[in-house]
């Protein structure tokens, strides 16, 4: 796997040294540094917690497939990510660490009458004190691209905490371990564009992706089952036919919990 072009180049220098466990991680994910002190997330297969609805030992591979798909789309959402066969605790995925600026997070919960102008409201609720609150996200092209990316990869866990903003306000998508299931499982906080038309340049990217993928693409399909590969192509075809954002399904909780 990872046999051609840019994707196969290493993203770290020398060897990876684990320096701690990731805070808030549900799996045995490690924070590492390379020989030039740059930080990386390393998710070894060995640290994966079994899930009822995903085959065992496939989560880090799904992360790499999602990152490779982002590269193929040229959408620059996922931090540079690679498969590593000889990591400190065996095979897994490695991803560049993004220094997150909390205040720039494009998804948040507000008192209902304080949602910033221009933000899209997703869900109304009441907090512990009975005050009306609203989950909302920004309305911008990068976030819209991320919502479409999630529809393509069938992301079952786009929490607010899986969207990072760096000091320049650039946004990144992380944690794609539960993507590409063969059943529809789209679960996200980015529902602001339901039924809206997909922007023409994004349709162009989708058509190009369809061509690049063909029936089999090493950098994606090595990590997926046959049924998952088939469904990925079906979802792309479906989006190209409707030319609009999907709506939440009735038989699957469509907002991840917890939201952060
Ligand atoms: N590439 C990254 N850059 C910066 N922070 C990250 C990165 N990957 C993960 N994190 C941080 O670590 C937390 C746990 O990582 P996540 O990918 O969600 O792991 P898990 O699969 O265990 O849920 C994230 O919520 C985030 O705060
Ligand atoms: Mg997570």
Q: Which class for 240: exposed (0-12), middle (13-18), buried (19 or more C-beta within 10 A)? A: middle
- 122-134 exposure pattern, b = at least 16 Cβ within 10 A, e = fewer: beeeeeeeeeebb
Specify burial of residue 68 (Cβ count, 10 A radius: 0-12, 13-18, 19+): buried
Higher pLDDT, residue 9 or 34: 34
Rounded distance from Cα 163 to ligand 1 centre (Å): 9
State in Å: Cα 174 to ligand 1 middle.
7
Residue 118 · residue 138 · CB < 8 Å: yes
pLDDT of 24 reads 75
260 lines ligand 1 (CB under 6 A): no
Q: Which residues contact 174 (CB under 8 A, 6 or more apart)?
A: 41, 78, 79, 95, 98, 162, 163, 164
Pairing mode of beta strands 120-126, 132-137: antiparallel
Looking at the DSSP bridge assignments, the partners of residue 132 are: 126
**C-alpha distances in Å from residue 145, one per residue of 49, 74, 77, 227, 253:** 30, 11, 8, 25, 22
Going by alpha carbons, the residue nearest to atom 11 of ligand 1 is 22
The yes-or-no verdict on residue 1 having pLDDT over 80 is no
User: What is the rounded average pLDDT of the residues 200-210?
Assistant: 98
Asked whether the beta carbons of 15 and 38 are under 8 A apart, the reply is: no
Does residue 8 surpass a pLDDT of 60?
Answer: no
Average pLDDT, the chain: 94
Q: Taking the alpha carbons of 108, 113, 114, 119 in that order, is the dihedral positive or negative?
A: positive
2 — pLDDT class (breaks 50, 70, 90): very low
The pairing of strands 107-111 and 81-84 is unpaired
Please work out whether the CB of residue 27 comes within 6 Å of at least one atom of ligand 1: yes
Q: What is the pLDDT of residue 38?
A: 97
214, pLDDT greater than 70 = yes
Please write the tens of the pLDDT for every residue from 50-90. Answer: 999 999 999 999 999 999 999 999 999 999 999 999 999 99
Atom of ligand 1 minimally distant from the CA of 26: 22
On the question of pLDDT at 196 being above 80, the answer is yes
């Amino acid at each position: 796997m990872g046999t051609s072009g840019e994707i196969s180049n290493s993203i770290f220098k020398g060897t990876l040294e684990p320096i701690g466990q990731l805070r808030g991680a549900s799996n045995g994910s490690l924070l590492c540094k390379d020989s030039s002190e740059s930080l990386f997330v390393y998710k070894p297969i060995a640290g994966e917690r079994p899930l009822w609805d995903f085959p065992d030992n496939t989560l880090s591979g799904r992360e790499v497939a999602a990152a490779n798909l982002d590269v193929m789309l040229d959408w620059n959402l996922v931090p540079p990510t690679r498969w590593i066969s000889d990591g400190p605790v065996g095979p897994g995925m490695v991803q560049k660490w993004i220094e997150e600026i909390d205040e720039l997070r494009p998804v948040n919960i507000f008192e209902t009458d304080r949602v910033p102008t221009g933000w899209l409201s997703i869900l109304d609720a009441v907090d512990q004190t009975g005050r009306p609150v609203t989950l909302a996200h920004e309305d911008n092209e990068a976030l819209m691209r991320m919502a479409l990316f999630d529809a393509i990869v069938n992301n079952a866990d786009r929490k607010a905490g899986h969207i990072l903003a760096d000091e320049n306000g650039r946004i990144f998508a992380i944690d794609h371990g539960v993507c590409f299931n063969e059943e529809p499982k789209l679960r996200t906080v980015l529902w602001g564009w339901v039924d809206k038309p997909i922007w023409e340049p994004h349709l162009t990217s989708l058509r190009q992706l369809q061509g690049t993928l063909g029936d089999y693409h090493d950098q994606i399909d090595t990590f997926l089952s046959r049924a998952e590969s088939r469904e990925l192509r079906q979802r792309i075809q479906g989006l190209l036919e409707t030319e609009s954002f999907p709506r939440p399904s009735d038989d699957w909780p469509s907002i991840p919990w917890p939201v952060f």
